[in-house]
């Protein structure tokens, strides 16, 4: 593709900055720390910040895009966010000396599409909104509408994108093709958009057979997609610089699994994850019956696994013991840490999620944020802990709030090393 000279110059300048950052020896040390944590070896808590409200973070035009080409603007955005995060909200971030060119993969979907009404949106740029759902599944015949996705790889577009980026800055920052390194598996998040939240929760009591049929069909469709990814060699294995589930980075010496063939990555060589966030108030037996027994069909395919997100799981650790190769469990702001610790120490990484609501107040209270973090870490003695700040809807247009939190969290984490 023809590349405007301004765009070329802009991306080369950003690539030079990323290459200089990635050359720092601190990244290997941090990656080794993530390996240590993921291997359940005690040490200081590691800190990672994700799901940042980027629409509120621009200071001094650090995030202002200038490329003309639409595709290259997306690359520019990715690069600028990497540099910005390293400069301001670094925590235990790792920057690799490579730029990944994602494969162009198409998917026909499950055959049912979300329908409903947009109720409210907080900010057009932020993407935070409330949505009402129009039920698409009302009886058994609707379940038959859930189809196996058809996956295709647009090899020509994948190669074009790779060659374009390599030609622009590959001599500065090497470019590598990349398929799926990890996938968010949350079938209940999908199902409630077709069923409606209230109707779905009522039907696990009133029409359990119908719910079982729907979950069985949907998970089978997910597995069909997964099988196609593997058959088409669309899975990739990279060192681990990506979030696993709703948690921290995936660096580990335990993957890939024995028998690894770099030309044909298997799910067994990767991290898996699952979550049933809508089951926050559902009992452990019902969680097992209507979610976990189906999620295990997916999780059994992977070499290591992460479970959970926003749902409190302190009272469900007994049933989670059935998850194969489970390594990390989310302990959300609504979980009881004291109940979780005895059942997690030495078995799983506690993936602690500080409550991001501290950033939404009229006046930011840094002492409250510190106290919240210290309160949790004081109760996790003997455990391997990662601190994952996520779901940050707003910083009230004061990016410095997040900058300060990142610095504070690292100071606190170091004190527990």
Q: Please give the residue range of the domain that contains residue 375.
A: 5-415
The pLDDT assigned to 186 comes to 98
- How many Å apart are CA 135 and CA 138, to the nearest integer? 7
The pLDDT assigned to 417 comes to 82
- How many Å apart are CA 100 and CA 82, to the nearest integer? 13
Q: Tokens for 260?
A: 């690894």
The pLDDT assigned to 1 comes to 78
Instruction: Single out the residue of 78, 77, 82, 80 nearest to residue 95, CA to CA.
Output: 82
Length of the chain in residues, anyone? 417
- pLDDT tens digits, residue range 237-250? 999 999 999 999 99
Q: Could you give the count of Cα atoms lying within 13 Å of 32 in the half-sphere of its Cβ? A: 5
Beta bridge partners of 231: none
- Phi, psi (deg, nearest 5) at residue 355: -75, 120
What total number of domains does the chain contain? 1
Q: Is 358 helix (H, G, I), strand (E, B) or coil?
A: helix
Torsion region of 150: left, alpha or beta (phi above 0 gives left; psi -120 to 50 gives alpha): beta
Contact (CB, 8 A) for 255 and 239: no
CATH number of the domain that residue 236 is part of: 3.20.20.210
- As to burial, measured by CB atoms within 10 angstroms (0-12 exposed, 13-18 middle, 19+ buried), residue 61 is exposed
The pLDDT assigned to 127 comes to 59
- Phi, psi (deg, nearest 5) at residue 162: -60, -45
- Which regions in the chain score pLDDT beneath 70? 116-131
Q: Is 394 helix (H, G, I), strand (E, B) or coil?
A: coil
Beta strands in 124-277 (DSSP E): 128-133, 151-153, 175-178, 271-274
Q: Is 386 helix (H, G, I), strand (E, B) or coil?
A: strand
Q: Tokens for 140?
A: 């058994």
The pLDDT assigned to 135 comes to 87
Element (H, E) at 165: helix 155-169
Q: Is 327 helix (H, G, I), strand (E, B) or coil?
A: strand
pTM of the complete model: 0.96
The pLDDT assigned to 47 comes to 98
- How many Å apart are CA 403 and CA 133, to the nearest integer? 37
């Amino acid at each position: 593709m023809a590349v405007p000279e301004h765009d070329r110059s802009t991306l080369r300048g950003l690539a030079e900055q990323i290459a200089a950052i990635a050359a720092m020896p601190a990244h290997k040390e941090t990656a080794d720390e993530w390996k240590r944590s993921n291997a359940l070896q005690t040490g200081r808590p590691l800190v990672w910040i994700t799901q940042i409200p980027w629409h509120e973070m621009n200071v001094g035009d650090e995030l202002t895009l200038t490329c003309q080409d639409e595709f290259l603007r997306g690359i520019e955005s990715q690069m600028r966010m990497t540099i910005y995060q390293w400069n301001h909200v670094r925590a235990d971030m790792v920057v690799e000396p490579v730029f990944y060119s994602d494969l162009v993969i198409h998917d026909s979907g499950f055959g049912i599409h979300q329908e409903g009404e947009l109720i409210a949106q907080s900010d057009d740029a932020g993407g935070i909104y409330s949505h009402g759902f129009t039920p698409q599944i009302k009886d058994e015949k609707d379940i038959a509408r859930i189809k196996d996705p058809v996956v295709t790889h647009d090899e020509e577009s994948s190669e074009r994108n790779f060659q374009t980026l390599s030609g622009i800055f590959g001599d500065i920052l090497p470019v590598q093709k990349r398929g799926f390194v990890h996938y968010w598996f949350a079938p209940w998040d999908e199902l409630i958009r077709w069923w409606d939240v209230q109707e779905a929760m009522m039907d696990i009591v009133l029409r359990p057979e119908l719910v079982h049929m729907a979950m069985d069909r949907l998970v089978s469709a997910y597995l069909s997609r997964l099988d196609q990814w593997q058959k088409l060699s669309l899975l990739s294995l990279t060192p681990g610089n990506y979030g696993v589930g709703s948690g921290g980075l995936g660096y580990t010496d335990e993957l890939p699994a024995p028998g690894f063939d770099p030309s044909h990555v298997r799910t067994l060589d990767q991290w898996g994850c699952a979550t049933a966030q809508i089951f926050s108030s559902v009992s452990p037996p019902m969680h097992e019956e209507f979610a976990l027994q189906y999620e295990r069909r997916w999780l059994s395919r992977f070499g290591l696994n992460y479970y959970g997100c926003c749902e409190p799981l302190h009272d469900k650790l007994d049933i989670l013991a059935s998850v194969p190769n489970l390594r990390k469990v989310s302990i959300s702001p609504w979980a009881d840490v004291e109940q979780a610790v005895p059942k997690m120490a030495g078995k799983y990484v506690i993936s602690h999620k500080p409550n991001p609501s501290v950033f939404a107040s009229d006046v930011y209270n840094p002492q409250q944020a510190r106290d919240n973090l210290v309160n949790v870490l004081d109760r996790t003695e003997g455990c391997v802990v990662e601190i994952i700040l996520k779901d940050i809807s707003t910083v009230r247009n004061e990016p410095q709030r997040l900058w300060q939190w990142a610095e504070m969290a690292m100071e606190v984490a170091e004190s527990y090393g």
